[in-house]
Amino acid sequence: MQTKQFTQHLMSKSNCLTKTSTTHLIMYPYCFSAGQAIALMKALPSMFPSPTAPPKKLGSASEALFHVLEPSEDTNTFLQKRPITSPVIRDSTNLLLAVGNIPLMTLPREMMYEAPLILMGCFYTFHLTYPKCVATLLSVIQTEALKDSIHECDLTHSYKKAIAEWAEFTKK
C-alpha cells in the first residue's frame, strides 16, 4: 500500500474511532491543540504503565511514543541513535513518523492528535512488536480504542490491572 493510501485508510479509520465511546482516550479532533496532544501523549504511559522500564537512553516511557526535537537536534542523527524503533517526531513545523531509523511519512503538526492512531496503524501494517516499556498502553489502545482482540499470551498482569482500572473509570 502506498503511503498516501495508507494515510487515507488510517484517517478514515480514526474518524470512525473518534466517535465511539472511547472518547476519554481519543478525543474529537477539534478538541485538541498540539500542546494538549503532547500533554496527553506524555501522560498516557503513566496512566497505563508497563512493568518494564524504558531504556536509560530514552528517559521517560513517553519518549517511546514521540519526541519533540530541540532546535539543535538533527532528525537523521536522532533516528540513528534512538534505542526504540517507533517514534513520532515533532519539530517546529511537522510530524515525522518513523520505524527504526527509516522515516515513513510527514504530517502537518496540526495532526498531532492523530499520531497515536497512525502509530498503531504502523504496528499493524508492519507487524511490529510493541516496545516493552509502553506495551500495556498500546495493548489498551488496541483493545479499547480499536476494539481489536488481544492474544492470550499478551494478557499480562499489568494489562489486566489497567483494563480493570479503565473499566472502573469509565463507569463513573
**By the 8 A CB rule, do 65 and 79 touch?**
no
The number of distinct structural domains making up the chain is: 1
Give the model confidence (pLDDT) of 67-85 as tens digits: 888 888 888 888 888 877 6
Burial level of 10, CB count in 10 A (0-12/13-18/19+)? buried
Does residue 172 fall inside a structural domain?
no
Does residue 115 fall inside a structural domain?
yes
Give the model confidence (pLDDT) of 112-164 as tens digits: 777 777 778 888 788 888 888 999 998 998 888 888 888 888 889 999 999 99
Domain carrying residue 53: 3-167
Give the model confidence (pLDDT) of 19-62 as tens digits: 333 333 344 444 556 677 778 888 888 889 999 998 888 888 88
Does residue 15 fall inside a structural domain?
yes
